[in-house]
């Protein structure tokens, strides 16, 4: 045997030893891959069947790896603080954040006591499925040292994501840059969730719209899957890369949708450092020691791995950053809990509202609105979160004093103490990232005064919530087509609710500017619909993105003057003439859904119900980046479920796959594909059936 072969043999032997060591479970054994069926339908969506839930987790890991192994690996690289070895300085920044927040330390401390033995088996089998795929496809491995991966790596990455969703990234940016806000005045985010029961539907059925607005690609883009076992797991929905269960979707009995909410889930404290010893801070009149740790960041620059040492600090308030302006600590419930993935699993398996509510009572999810519906005519809304019980004597909307334990909260409100509505007389519930105090008909809403003001829940409405209220007023009762009409609406409301007074744009007159007369006329006569044939929508979109660009460069738009409106419209006129040779450009010509060499005309604008936020593409065009992505529409009937879904691209992120872009036409035409939870139908319709083993 030559030296090269000997080295390769040794490396493979070492990998197998490590892999087998990973497969030794503390609570059970890794399943036999031959006992797992992966069924692909004509759209390439994976339907995973195994007798056990653990087998389903293994099969999901394999199937998702087949479709998007690269993104899954990036998540695990972050979980191991190794992303810098793949993506250089940008990845090293993530590695620093995950170590600064001490995500791995938290997982290490809580894993044995907080994660149930049955769920550990799920995590271990999911990790085993990932490792098996890596072993079978070494040419797809990004960083060899990543493997094998373990359950704690998954939980560490999950903890990072949930901390970021609770505002940790924004807080770090404010601390390091001294900024007040990192969000543009024109908000571009958003999601929708709607539930209707028999009091509002013409046919007496229950409708649920799952319509989260996520990035179309990347680590938080939706992946569709159907999970089914003989242990009662049967759910269709969407998940993020690295998740071992559905994050929102429906089973035979119930379903739920998530939207992002924004109560006060995180606090920042300024510490009083000892002038004589910068490693000490004052707390209740005594000097306490900062806990300081040196961490190593591994980053690859020009192909060369480099190790950089950085200090991280911790006070009794939490992770602490020492800057020229002082020392600041971050405290959030998201960094005190590692059971979020297990809670989602329990939600997957609930059979009725009582069981679903019991899963919610675990209280592990740090945020998110939940809009729920079931076959038993129950609808429910919850503005969920790990909301601290705070001392009302302090102002919790700004930076807190870190020199007293009076601001050191430790307990949280229970789920029952959070804003929620169950079965309102109106027969409907909705959320579009707006106030929880406007979740249904006015007469059925809860009141903000009923809740602790330190929770600091949202009290605003936005364009999508305003438009929903306009539309629902026309339906004493609605049918499923009406329901879809609302969900796919592209109309801005009569009164705009952008954070900048965009109404000023529509008060202009063509006589206000000679050379801009044509473009001003097209805008002010626009019907405010974001259809692909609309010229007004194209003008508004180009103007919108110009404002966002200026805001990112430091411009402020607290008000939009007539002069500024004319300046922006002059820019749009010049931009269209330069890139298209004319000003009468339609939205479909300007905005595209792009995947590989495919480019389709794309409807939607930021903050219409069927929202789309785009970024620069080429030749003056923009491409869809965030908004409408995975859509699941559910009808619970007496005879079972009717399910329609669509994803913005397809089931695979591999360009060579025929399912890389095969749902694009459906998506831009606002159409869906029928899906089923019936196992017999799934097997009958399957295009391919195979086991997760190396061919």
Question: DSSP letters of 59-98?
Answer: HHHHHHHHHHHHHHHHHHHHHTT-THHHHHHHHHHHHHHH
Strand partners, 636: 206, 641
User: If pLDDT is split at 50, 70 and 90, which confidence band does 10 have?
Assistant: very low
pLDDT of residue 189: 52
| Mean pLDDT, range 136-152, rounded to an integer | 97
Pick the CATH number of 266-335 from 2.60.40.10, 2.30.120.10, 3.40.50.300, 2.40.160.20: 2.30.120.10
User: If pLDDT is split at 50, 70 and 90, which confidence band does 372 have?
Assistant: very high
* pLDDT tens-digit readout, 508-555: 887 776 778 889 999 999 999 999 999 999 999 999 999 888 888 877
Beta strand pairing status for 254-259 and 591-595? Answer: unpaired
* pLDDT tens-digit readout, 248-279: 999 999 999 999 999 999 999 999 999 999 99
pLDDT of residue 2: 43
Beta strand pairing status for 379-383 and 277-283? Answer: unpaired
Domain with CATH 2.30.120.10 in the chain: 266-335
Spell out the residues 6+ positions from residue 395 whose beta carbon is closer than 8 angstroms to its own. Answer: none
Share of the chain above pLDDT 70, in %: 93
Domain with CATH 1.10.1400.10 in the chain: 502-626
Is this prediction's pTM over 0.85? yes
Residue 587 dihedral angles phi and psi, to the nearest 5°: -60, -40
* pLDDT tens-digit readout, 214-253: 999 999 999 999 999 999 999 999 999 999 999 999 999 9
Spatial separation of the C-alpha atoms in residues 340 and 342, rounded to whole Å: 5
Residues 345/349/352/357 CA torsion (nearest 10 deg): -20
CB 649 within 8 A of CB 595: yes
Task: Look at residue 285 and tell me whether its pLDDT is greater than 70.
Answer: yes
CATH fold of 502-626: 1.10.1400
Domain with CATH 1.10.439.10 in the chain: 3-177
Spatial separation of the C-alpha atoms in residues 615 and 591, rounded to whole Å: 9
Residue 426 dihedral angles phi and psi, to the nearest 5°: -65, -25
Spatial separation of the C-alpha atoms in residues 369 and 437, rounded to whole Å: 12
Q: From residue 688, how far is each of 40, 418, 506, 655, 672 by CA, in Å? A: 5, 46, 55, 20, 22
Strands (E), 471-533: none
| Residues shown for the chain | 695
Share of the chain above pLDDT 90, in %: 82
pLDDT of residue 683: 98
Q: What average pLDDT is seen over the chain?
A: 92
- Specify the CATH architecture of the domain 3-177: Orthogonal Bundle (1.10)
CB 246 within 8 A of CB 57: no
Radius of gyration of the chain (CA): 26
């Amino acid at each position: 045997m030559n030296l090269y072969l000997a080295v390769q043999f040794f490396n493979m032997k070492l990998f197998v030893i490590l892999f087998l060591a990973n497969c030794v479970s503390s609570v059970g054994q890794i399943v036999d891959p031959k006992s797992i069926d992966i069924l692909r339908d004509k759209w390439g969506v994976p339907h995973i069947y195994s007798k056990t839930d653990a087998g389903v987790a293994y099969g999901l890991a394999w199937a998702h790896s087949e479709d998007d192994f690269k993104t899954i690996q990036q998540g695990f690289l972050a979980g191991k603080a190794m992303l810098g070895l793949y993506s250089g300085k940008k990845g090293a920044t993530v590695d620093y954040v995950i170590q600064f927040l001490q995500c791995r330390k938290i997982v290490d401390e809580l894993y044995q006591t907080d994660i149930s033995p049955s769920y550990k088996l799920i995590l271990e089998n999911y990790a085993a499925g990932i490792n098996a795929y890596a072993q079978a496809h070494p040419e797809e491995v990004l960083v060899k040292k990543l493997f094998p991966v373990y359950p704690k790596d998954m939980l560490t990455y999950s903890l990072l994501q949930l901390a970021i969703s609770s505002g940790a990234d924004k807080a770090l940016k404010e601390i390091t840059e001294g900024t007040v806000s990192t969000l543009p005045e024109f908000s571009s985010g958003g999601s929708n969730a709607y539930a209707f029961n028999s009091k509002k539907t013409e046919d007496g059925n229950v409708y649920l719209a799952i319509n989260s607005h996520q990035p179309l690609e990347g680590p938080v883009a939706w992946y569709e899957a159907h999970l089914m076992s003989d242990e009662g797991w049967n759910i269709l929905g969407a998940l993020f890369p690295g998740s071992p269960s559905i994050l929102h979707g429906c089973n035979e009995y119930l379903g739920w949708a998530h939207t992002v909410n924004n109560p006060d889930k995180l606090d920042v404290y300024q510490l009083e450092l000892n002038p004589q010893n910068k490693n000490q801070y004052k707390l209740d009149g005594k000097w306490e020691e900062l806990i300081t740790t040196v961490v190593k960041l591994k980053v690859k620059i020009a192909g060369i791995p480099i190790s950089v040492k950085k200090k991280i600090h911790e006070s009794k308030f939490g992770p602490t950053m020492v800057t020229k302006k002082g020392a600041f600590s971050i405290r959030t419930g998201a960094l005190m809990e590692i059971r979020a993935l297990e809670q989602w699993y329990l939600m997957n398996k609930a059979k009725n509202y009582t069981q679903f509510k019991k899963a919610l009572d675990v209280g592990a999810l740090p945020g998110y609105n939940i809009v729920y519906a079931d076959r038993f005519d129950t609808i429910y809304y919850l503005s969920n979160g790990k909301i601290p019980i705070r001392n009302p004597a302090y102002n919790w909307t700004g930076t807190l004093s870190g020199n007293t334990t009076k601001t050191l909260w430790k307990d949280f409100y229970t789920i029952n103490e959070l804003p929620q509505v169950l079965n309102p007389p109106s027969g409907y519930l909705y959320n579009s990232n707006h106030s929880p105090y406007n979740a249904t008909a006015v007469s059925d809403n809860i009141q903000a005064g009923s809740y602790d003001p330190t929770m600091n829940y949202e009290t605003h409405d936005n364009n999508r919530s305003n438009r929903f209220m306009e539309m629902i007023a026309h339906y004493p009762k609605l049918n499923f087509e009406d329901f879809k009409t609302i969900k796919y609406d592209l109309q801005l409301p009569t009164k705009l609710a952008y954070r900048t007074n965009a109404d000023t744009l529509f008060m202009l007159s063509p006589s206000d500017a000679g050379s801009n007369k044509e473009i001003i006329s097209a805008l002010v006569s626009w019907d405010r619909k974001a259809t692909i044939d609309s010229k007004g929508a194209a003008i508004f979109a180009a103007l919108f993105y110009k404002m966002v660009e200026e805001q990112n460069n430091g411009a402020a738009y607290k008000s939009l003057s007539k002069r500024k409106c004319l300046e922006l419209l002059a820019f749009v006129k010049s931009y269209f003439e330069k890139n298209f040779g004319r000003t009468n450009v339609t939205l479909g010509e300007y905005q595209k859904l792009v995947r590989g060499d495919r480019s389709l005309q794309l409807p939607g604008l930021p903050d219409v119900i069927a929202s789309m936020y785009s970024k620069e593409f080429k030749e003056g065009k923009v491409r869809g980046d965030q908004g409408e992505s995975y859509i699941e529409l559910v009808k619970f009937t007496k005879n079972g479920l009717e399910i329609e879904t669509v994803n913005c691209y397809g089931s695979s992120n591999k360009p060579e796959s025929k399912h890389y872009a095969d749902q694009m036409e459906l998506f831009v035409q606002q159409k869906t594909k029928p899906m089923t939870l019936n196992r017999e139908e799934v097997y009958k319709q399957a295009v391919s059936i195979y086991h997760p083993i190396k061919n």
